[in-house]
Structure 1
Amino acid sequence: MIHREKGSALSKLADANKVSWSLDRFDALLFDLDGVLTPTVDLHKKAWKRLFDAVLPADVPPYRDEDYFMYVDGKPRYDGVRSLLQSRGVELPAGEPSDSPDARTICGLGNRKNDEFEELLHEQGIEPYGDVVDLLRHLTAAGKRLAVVSSSRNAREVLFTAGILKYFDQVVDGNVRAAQRLRGKPEPDTYQYAAGVLGVPYDRAIVLEDALSGVASGRAGGFGLVVGVDRGAGAQPLFEAGADIVINQLGELLGGIRPQAAEVAAGLNADTDPLDPNRYPVEAWGFTEQGAPSAESATLFSLSNGTIGVRGESGGPRCLGSGTFLSGFHETFAIRHAEEAYGFAKVGQVVQGVPDTQDFSFTVDGVELRSPGCVGQSLDFRSGVLTRRYRYDLDENVHLEVKVETMTCLARADLLATRLTIRAVGGDMTVHLESRANGDKPVVSRATDPRKADMIADGGLARLEMDALTQNDDHEAYGAYHCKNSGLTMALGFSQQADGRPVGQVCDLEVHDGSDVVVVRYSSYNSLPLSPVGVRSGLEARSDGVVDSVELVKRCSATLGWAQRQGFDGLETAQRQWLDDFWDRADVQVDAHGDDGRTQQIIRWELFELAQATATVPNGISAKGLSGTGYSGHYFWDTEGFILPFLTYTQPERARQALSFRYRMLPAARKRAAVMSMDGALFPWRTINGEEASAFFEAGTAQYHIDADIAYAVCQYVGATGDHEFLASEGIDILVETARMWASLGCVGGDGAFHINTVTGPDEYSALVDDNYYTNVMAKFNLNRAADALDSLTPQERKDAVERLTVA
């Protein structure tokens, strides 16, 4: 760490305490993004080079790497274009922000550079610098307010992709700068605005910058400390620009954090409540988040009806991997093993995001409002409606308020309803609303966590040509899509009305001061249920039934007509009736002393999640429902171990549907058993379409206990409901075929006992062991209950089962 020779706030602190310095005198840290938190500078450098290599005239000096720091780093995009061109004596008209990337204007070239950057971001992804997360955790534990101040309009997307958006209280990006009409760096406006939004005096805030213009911005703003982060600009130029200290790594700041805070960050002596009641108030029948969302918010506030799943607000971009999902709708890919071997899984599966109709953008006076001043969201357990609230500050006393209410309809599985209430405060305004279905591709993920989704480079969603049905009229739109590898097909239709009159996906709304305009959108998604018997050949999955995309679109159209007749209020009434019936049967009331009702709230949140994840069961139930891409959307033993016991006693018809899905998976399970040289059926450890999808044998196929887990769920369901018809028609097949697998997997040892060797138990920490206790006990249960079940059948039922299953 290098200090400014004199006049440095930090150097005075260091002189007072030669061992360490403290951040106690500062309340907030304001970070630049590019080059400080993330190495997006490399992507920006490549994007600028692509741009200027293509557009600079041949008779001027070409673009060089050092030009980045000299002319464009830290500046708003259009200013960077202008600065570089001026250095080459090239003049172009300014143009407008709406200019095409092909336009020969300052704005046109700036937009082209943005396109180049976004393409690189989606291709390569981004991760924070190595010490960033550790520092942010410590700062958060120390109670510091954090903000990002960036000239980039892509700042939120970059932070979201890097996985660090959740640490920041505010993001002041290029969109905020434009909306608030702030001057860009090296002027101090954006940093001063960020401090003001955080409610922190300038002299109580630290600015961290790697760009000379950004350091100058911090110095001009009168901030308490300006930290230069040397990522290539050089220490001396950073000092000359106004830095108090210069560091090479953010980790050098950790020495200034009090030891108590470090202990909290490390999880030592911490008694803080992750559900801060000021942010997450205690409610008996709801869950509310006040303030800006975190990355986890999208899952916590997700909605589903078992067929459609929609993620809540996370502050990051919505796209095909972070928006809307359909039950069973997935893409496939060839699993690449480091070394192929017989019996290894061949076909991977991952839930495929579908076009999302919850992405709305607002423009007022030509300025797109992409960063709201405040955000909050709440989930009502009694209505199943998610309410999101946004406020966009247009001027000191002028702002736009938007309330978005969403429900995945429990009374109609293929319907999603959304109502926007738009209010002008402080003056009349014309609001330009764009609400197209978002089919943006997800950014590349480099995560190695197996709980996160696999990324498919050569698959994904493709739109089918259906010109005749793509647009019915001005307020209804339709489309059909299929997965490139799995071949699964889905259709989407949506309609929109403003104050009861039809409007298109793009419309202008006249909103008067203090008045509301109400926009209602209905979205219908249709796909066919899976046939869970694995793939046909190659990577192609199978659906139940033969229906073309035109028929799926027609189904969407019929649903939209029905929804318009019901109206949003009518749908909400039906939703409440459905949930009233659910709570009458399933509510669990607790009296936990001393927690002011928090335990009751958490239990009801859990019950609500179970209710919405199983409101319909067209396919299997994945470990994370339809809340996102976690675990790639796979079904595990979670269904039988955790979900079915609840359904068996509260909604037995749903339990039977889930077990019937396993029954329909038997052909694939028999095939898998044969591959593994066993009799009977071996169910896949993780799957969507019935094909084993686990590429890691030791924690996948080796968990043979899944056969007994499914058998246990069958017995529990039949025992609780007395559904003998299910046992005779489907359950007995599952019990017998899984029992056969155990008989062939184990062997009688020299001690005369039956042993099952080389298996992995449910804890997954001790892989490939002999005689795992849980596995042995469950296998014994499975074998005994299969024999008991055969004995319980009527003579005719037993005769049919013996013939069907060739039981000796």
Structure 2
Amino acid sequence: MAKNDSFKVSAEELSHQTPEYLETLFAVGNGQIGVRSGHPLKVNELYGGNPGSFVNGFFDSEPIQYGEWAYGYAKEHQTIIKLPNLRGVRLQIGDEDSSASEWQVKPIQMTLDLEKGVLDESYKVVTPLGKTFELVMQSFASVTRSELYVCQYQIKNTNFSEPISMTHPLEQKAAIVQTDDPRVASKAHHLRKADYQDYAIWTAENSQRSIAIRVINGEKQLQAEETLTTVFQMKLLEDNQNHETPFNQELADFEVLLQEQQQSYQQFWAASDIQIEGDPVLQKGIRFNLFHLNQGAGRDGRTNFAAKGLTGEGYEGHYFWDTEMYLLPFFIFTNPEIAKALLSYRGKILPQAKQRAQELSQEGALFAWRTIDGNETSAYYPAGTAQVHINADIVYAFQLYERVTGDQAFIETVGSEVVFETAKFWLSYGDLVEKDGKLAFCINGVTGPDEYSALVNNNFYTNKMVQNNLYYAIELAQRFGKYQESISAWQQAADLMYFGYDEQRGITKQDDGFLEQAVWPFETTPAEKYPLLLHYHPMVIYKHQVCKQADTVLAQMLYTGDFSLEQLKKDYDYYEQVTTHDSSLSRSIFSVMASRIGDSEKAYRYFMDTALMDLTDLQKNVVDGIHAANMGGSWLSLIYGFAGLYYDQGLRLANHLPQKIKELKFTLFYQGEPVKINLKDQRIDCQLAEETRLIATKTDGGIWIKER
């Protein structure tokens, strides 16, 4: 990548130029609408790529067909639907038609302006009869008006005098992706289109969910130097909504919409920007990641953050624990209103979680491992439903939100019932048994974050998170005067929680059996056999010591203060040797912990992989969408790692800057107040508002920020 403006990413900087790769990276979105940057003339099959658009929460479903079904298996697939390529146009000059013959289209420039939230493009177009012109485009998904995608087209430098007729023939082109990769949606879901006076309604063939699409200024005959601004308005329709009048919003002109977009992004960067001195490529990489985080987050309290955002079909548009553990820290500390909306989604689907617990003969609530509407859609339960730690992950996020924002009202009205119902589940699913000669609360038959170790007993991460879940439930029950009859049982389970430890080796056990298994033969496994999940049967993987991603190390990142530095180093060194990082969620956690144990060079190497993962296509699957959790993880690597952020009755920070980063500046919002942090050399400077109820105290290790 070239070392140029760190708020702009250009296609010419990137290592490869395949259409699908560029479509993902230059996708624009606003949390409700996402549009891949498909070929501008892609309205038929003449041009390559995988263009299309997505609406958060708009999906189709169909029954899962099992060869051998068992009670409690997930019942239905849910797959986000790829909608038509909104930006694609059909051009006609006289008898020449771009949809009937392949016109030569050579990109001149494609630049994503991160600072303004706008995609700028230009192309040189040559028709089969030799007519040439330049097509200039500027597009964005409006952050302030979430139903709108706006695209302006301009015709320049023609060698002919005839007008160009431009139209938007929106037709779904949903080719089936032929792949065995379980991370990719491999089913095409078709839509039925019904045309009305100035809009169309698209209905999913199986679920009968509908969306209305209106195209404003979709047709025009353009002369040289003329422009056409097309506004696409998209709205999900509720079951009882009047389909005859789905739109009532008055639209502004292009300049007003553009100004709104720029102002919105100005506010976003004022709150969220991270300034890095010493590496301009790294600076651009982190801003690119933060930009996509802003684009992908649902803001309406009814949708969440899909694993690939709204940039592709990977993971079928499902929501995972990625949101709570990798994405929400960024929003909680920089954009708490978005964090609140994402957490509200969990409150909304609590009824489905309670029903799922009943299906598994348990009390309380069990949140779906992967879902869109709250129902479990994972057909492979050992790596799906068995990851019950998602309950405690969600509770951890509610707790972090309260600690950082002080918003007790939201916790009382929305979060507390999630906390209580998950606590009920743990008491039902776990067991008080004799373990290692004493009474202990054990949680058996689960899968932790490491999906290469399935259906284990006493996964360390799960037990640590559950313990926190129970203690938080006790705190809220006492505060709000609820569930007094359950407090003693929750207290006993939390106090007696079992944590395995190998005394001989001095290693924290990932689970009861992990350290007793043969280590995976890393030295004889060729590079082309990674990720292991695509080349080895689960039975082969499960019987070895091998981690797909951070597991015990993730628990120790979240609860660093509960361990000695010596123990953290021992566990880190051991688990690093058996971790493949086949998951994009892994490297950021190892970066954070490398910072905290004092290995700044290793922390930097891991961080470089997270910060530039999609811009370098490290995982080789950006074509299916961005790696949203890793983008959140790059923020964690910087703020939790290099800046040492850790909650301990306030915010503690420490300077762990690696040598290659000369200075790090960022802003955190704590208790509703902005705190500006600057790390340079061995110093940490903390700037509070002139009149503030926060106080920053210097400590031996850094700075401690808390209320007066």
What is the Cα deviation at residue 631 of structure 1? 0.6
Partner of 2:209: 488
Partner of 2:270: 584
SS of the residue aligned with 1:753? strand
Partner of 2:245: 551
My pick for the range that moved more, 599-608 or 348-357, is: 348-357
Partner of 1:360: 89
**CA offsets 1:637-675 (integer angstroms, 9 cap, x no match):** 011111211111111122111111111111111111111
Partner of 1:460: 190
Structure 2, unmatched stretches of 5+, are: 488-708
Tell me how far apart the structure 2 counterparts of residues 737 and 682 of structure 1 sit (CA, whole Å): 8
Contact 1:394/1:400 (CA < 8 Å) preserved in 2? no
Tell me how far apart the structure 1 counterparts of residues 485 and 349 of structure 2 sit (CA, whole Å): 20
Contact 2:324/2:394 (CA < 8 Å) preserved in 1? yes
My pick for the range that moved more, 354-363 or 748-757, is: 354-363
- After superposition, the Cα gap between the structure-2 partners of 1:330 and 1:787, relative to the gap in structure 1 and judged at 3 Å, is same
Verify: 1:312 aligned to 2:30, yes or no: no
Alignment of 1:78-477 (within 5 A): 275=1, 277=2, 282-290=4-12, 293-313=18-38, 317=42, 322-369=51-98, 370-394=103-127, 399-437=132-170, 439-456=171-188, 459-464=189-194, 470-471=196-197, 477=198
Contact 2:36/2:311 (CA < 8 Å) preserved in 1? yes
- After superposition, the Cα gap between the structure-2 partners of 1:664 and 1:801, relative to the gap in structure 1 and judged at 3 Å, is farther
Verify: 1:519 aligned to 2:228, yes or no: yes
Tell me how far apart the structure 2 counterparts of residues 599 and 703 of structure 1 sit (CA, whole Å): 34
2:273 partner letter: D
My pick for the range that moved more, 424-433 or 577-586, is: 424-433
What is the Cα deviation at residue 690 of structure 1? 0.8
**CA offsets 1:317-355 (integer angstroms, 9 cap, x no match):** 568973111111110011011211111101110001234
1:290 partner letter: E
SS of the residue aligned with 2:357? helix
Partner of 1:74: none
Higher helix share: 1
Verify: 1:608 aligned to 2:258, yes or no: no
SS of the residue aligned with 1:372? strand
**CA offsets 1:708-759 (integer angstroms, 9 cap, x no match):** 0001001001111111111211211011111111111111222211111111
SS of the residue aligned with 1:313? coil
Partner of 1:671: 355
Tell me how far apart the structure 2 counterparts of residues 380 and 580 of structure 1 sit (CA, whole Å): 12
Tell me how far apart the structure 2 counterparts of residues 327 and 440 of structure 1 sit (CA, whole Å): 17
Tell me how far apart the structure 1 counterparts of residues 441 and 483 of structure 2 sit (CA, whole Å): 27
Partner of 1:572: 258
What is the Cα deviation at residue 622 of structure 1? 1.1
Contact 2:41/2:90 (CA < 8 Å) preserved in 1? no
Contact 1:322/1:442 (CA < 8 Å) preserved in 2? no
Contact 2:41/2:89 (CA < 8 Å) preserved in 1? no
Tell me how far apart the structure 2 counterparts of residues 417 and 547 of structure 1 sit (CA, whole Å): 25
Tell me how far apart the structure 1 counterparts of residues 485 and 10 of structure 2 sit (CA, whole Å): 55
2:179 partner letter: A
2:445 to 758, 763, 782: 758
Partner of 1:509: 222
What is the Cα deviation at residue 610 of structure 1? 1.2
2:403 to 719, 733, 739: 719
Contact 1:319/1:356 (CA < 8 Å) preserved in 2? no
**CA offsets 1:337-394 (integer angstroms, 9 cap, x no match):** 1211111101110001234431112233533343303353111112211122111135
**CA offsets 1:209-242 (integer angstroms, 9 cap, x no match):** xxxxxxxxxxxxxxxxxxxxxxxxxxxxxxxxxx
Contact 1:295/1:316 (CA < 8 Å) preserved in 2? no
My pick for the range that moved more, 284-293 or 702-711, is: 284-293
Partner of 1:709: 393
Tell me how far apart the structure 1 counterparts of residues 261 and 359 of structure 2 sit (CA, whole Å): 47
- After superposition, the Cα gap between the structure-2 partners of 1:483 and 1:615, relative to the gap in structure 1 and judged at 3 Å, is closer
1:638 to 319, 322, 331: 322
1:629 to 313, 322, 330: 313
What is the Cα deviation at residue 452 of structure 1? 0.9
Verify: 1:791 aligned to 2:512, yes or no: no
Structure 1, unmatched stretches of 5+, are: 1-274, 472-476, 497-503, 529-542, 803-808
Contact 2:137/2:151 (CA < 8 Å) preserved in 1? yes
1:550 partner letter: E
- After superposition, the Cα gap between the structure-2 partners of 1:694 and 1:317, relative to the gap in structure 1 and judged at 3 Å, is farther
1:548 partner letter: N
Alignment of 1:760-775 (within 5 A): 760-775=447-462
My pick for the range that moved more, 412-421 or 362-371, is: 362-371
Contact 1:327/1:619 (CA < 8 Å) preserved in 2? yes
Tell me how far apart the structure 1 counterparts of residues 40 and 162 of structure 2 sit (CA, whole Å): 25
2:423 partner letter: A
Contact 1:299/1:627 (CA < 8 Å) preserved in 2? yes
What is the Cα deviation at residue 428 of structure 1? 2.8
What is the Cα deviation at residue 423 of structure 1? 1.1
**CA offsets 1:402-422 (integer angstroms, 9 cap, x no match):** 011111111111111110011
2:432 to 748, 755, 772: 748
Verify: 1:661 aligned to 2:390, yes or no: no
**CA offsets 1:569-593 (integer angstroms, 9 cap, x no match):** 111111111111111111100113x
SS of the residue aligned with 1:296? helix
Tell me how far apart the structure 1 counterparts of residues 158 and 407 of structure 2 sit (CA, whole Å): 60
Contact 1:296/1:314 (CA < 8 Å) preserved in 2? no
- Root mean square deviation of aligned Cα: 2.6
Aligned-pair identity (%):
32
Contact 1:322/1:628 (CA < 8 Å) preserved in 2? no
Partner of 1:133: none
**CA offsets 1:285-339 (integer angstroms, 9 cap, x no match):** 1111139553211110111111111111369956897311111111001101121
- After superposition, the Cα gap between the structure-2 partners of 1:615 and 1:734, relative to the gap in structure 1 and judged at 3 Å, is closer
Tell me how far apart the structure 2 counterparts of residues 318 and 395 of structure 1 sit (CA, whole Å): 18
Tell me how far apart the structure 2 counterparts of residues 611 and 670 of structure 1 sit (CA, whole Å): 31
- After superposition, the Cα gap between the structure-2 partners of 1:293 and 1:571, relative to the gap in structure 1 and judged at 3 Å, is farther
Partner of 1:599: 282
2:274 partner letter: V
Q: Give the paired residue count.
A: 473
SS of the residue aligned with 1:490? strand
For the pair shown, which has the larger CA radius of gyration, 1 or 2?
1
Tell me how far apart the structure 2 counterparts of residues 647 and 318 of structure 1 sit (CA, whole Å): 37
Tell me how far apart the structure 1 counterparts of residues 333 and 19 of structure 2 sit (CA, whole Å): 35
What is the Cα deviation at residue 517 of structure 1? 1.2
Tell me how far apart the structure 2 counterparts of residues 318 and 692 of structure 1 sit (CA, whole Å): 35
- After superposition, the Cα gap between the structure-2 partners of 1:415 and 1:491, relative to the gap in structure 1 and judged at 3 Å, is same
- After superposition, the Cα gap between the structure-2 partners of 1:551 and 1:434, relative to the gap in structure 1 and judged at 3 Å, is closer
Tell me how far apart the structure 1 counterparts of residues 34 and 7 of structure 2 sit (CA, whole Å): 21
Contact 1:295/1:315 (CA < 8 Å) preserved in 2? no
What is the Cα deviation at residue 702 of structure 1? 0.6
What is the Cα deviation at residue 799 of structure 1? 8.4
What is the Cα deviation at residue 395 of structure 1? 8.8
Partner of 1:253: none
What is the Cα deviation at residue 283 of structure 1? 2.2
Contact 2:364/2:425 (CA < 8 Å) preserved in 1? yes
Contact 1:293/1:313 (CA < 8 Å) preserved in 2? no
